[in-house]
Amino acid sequence: MNPLPTTMSAWCQERYGGPEVVVQAQIDVPQVGRDEVLVRTHATSLNAGDIYVMRGEPLVLRVAFGLRRPKQRVRGMDAAATVVALGERVTQFKVGDEVVGELAGGALAEYAVSTASRLVHRPSELDVTVAAALPVAGGTALQAVDRAGVATGQRVLVIGASGGVGTFAVQLCAQRGAEVWALCGERNRPLVESLGAAATFDYKKVQPGATELGEAEFDVVIDIAGTARLRALQRLVRDGGKVVLVSGQGGRMLGPLARLTAASIISVGSKRKLLPLAATANQDTLNSLVALATAGSLAPVIEHVSSFDEADAALARAADGHVVGKIVVTVTG
């Protein structure tokens, strides 16, 4: 095997801002830590989380991600990659293994490091592009569906069904035998129905509280759009029903925190629980996604596959907030 290079091409940012602050540059290949794996990245896909960190908003996230500039200056969390070096305490992988995972960041680069526990093996039957689309959005959808306990015969409403998380959530709920209703843009209704939704509505015309959705008609609501009033969401579910809050719009300072705190308070003593979700990167979730996708039971909706040199345009498209499914960026083929 050729020795590893010391520098690599990466999309980096030195300050918070719009897509224009992320530029292609030659930087050092990251050092692998004791519990880490160095991978050669083949493909990544973009997530709303990349855009929040790129912008540094809501401002509260800068406490964790860097007060003046992002500590991790390379965006990209999802990765399909090959292991090229191992930290001394890593036993689960060997050099040459094909992996897929949810990195803490850094996947928009030829090489990236990840804690080994955020990676799983990628079977050869699972295409790199498909694998790269799975981790964050698929993992969030899977954890939302599990948190709600979606089961056969239930009626589930997915709000925000056309984005990365939503397209996975609709498929997972339908696969579990639920009757899925969905709110999405008018143009995306045929797609969302093809993913398994029994009924779809244009979110610009039908919102929680509208007669079309009724009251107490659902066992579960999965709110990915994060714009509806909490009380209106709560009224949608029957007693014993659950509203899983995947997202929440909010102010520039605190983002969804105020809404999520309010949700916990409103739920106290109520038979209709509002459950905030904080999805985590873990191997159980990744292995479930990989198994479903390899079996053909879960298929990411991929709006566009971008070349590495056009990653800035892909970031701008993701920042626009109207992606249908996922945007994948091919890094090293």
Residues that bind ligand NAP (CB under 6 A): 47-49, 136-137, 140, 159-160, 162-166, 183-185, 188, 203, 224-227, 246-247, 277-279, 321-324
Whole-number minimum distance, CB 329 to ligand NAP, in Å?
Answer: 15
- Nearer of residues 36 and 223 to ligand NAP, judged by Cβ: 223
Structure tokens at 115: 């804690």
Q: How far is the CB of 42 from ligand NAP (least distance, A)?
A: 21
CB of residue 22 to ligand NAP, shortest distance in Å = 17
- From residue 166, alpha-carbon distances to 49, 180, 187, 224, 300 in Å are 15, 12, 15, 7, 10
The pair of three-digit structure tokens given for residue 67, joined into one six-digit string = 């007060």
Look at residues 199, 171, 176, 315 and name the one whose alpha carbon lies nearest to residue 184: 199
Tell me, what DSSP letter sits at residue 310?
G
**Residue 120 or 279: which CB sits closer to ligand NAP?**
279
Q: Which is nearer to ligand NAP, 188 or 234 (CB)?
A: 188
Q: CB atoms < 10 A from the CB of 193, how many?
A: 17
Residues 101 and 115: their CA atoms lie apart, in Å, by 10
Cis bond before residue 58 (omega within 30° of 0): yes
- Is residue 94 within 8 A of residue 83, CB to CB? The reply is yes
Query: How far is Cα 333 from Cα 322, in angstroms, rounded to an integer?
Result: 26
CB of 84 or CB of 132, closer to ligand NAP: 132
What's the min distance (Å) between Cβ of 104 and ligand NAP?
14
Angle, CA of 68, 15 and 29, to the nearest 5° = 105
Nearest distance from C-beta of residue 307 to ligand NAP, angstroms: 20
Nearest residue (CB) to ligand NAP, 293 versus 302? 302
Min dist. Cβ of residue 244 to ligand NAP (A): 9
Amino acid at site 55? R
Give the Cα separation of 169 and 222 in Å (integer): 8
Q: Of 32 and 191, which has the nearer Cβ to ligand NAP?
A: 191
Least distance to ligand NAP, CB of residue 234, Å: 18
Nearer to ligand NAP, 64 or 278 (CB): 278
* Cα 78 to chain centroid, rounded: 8
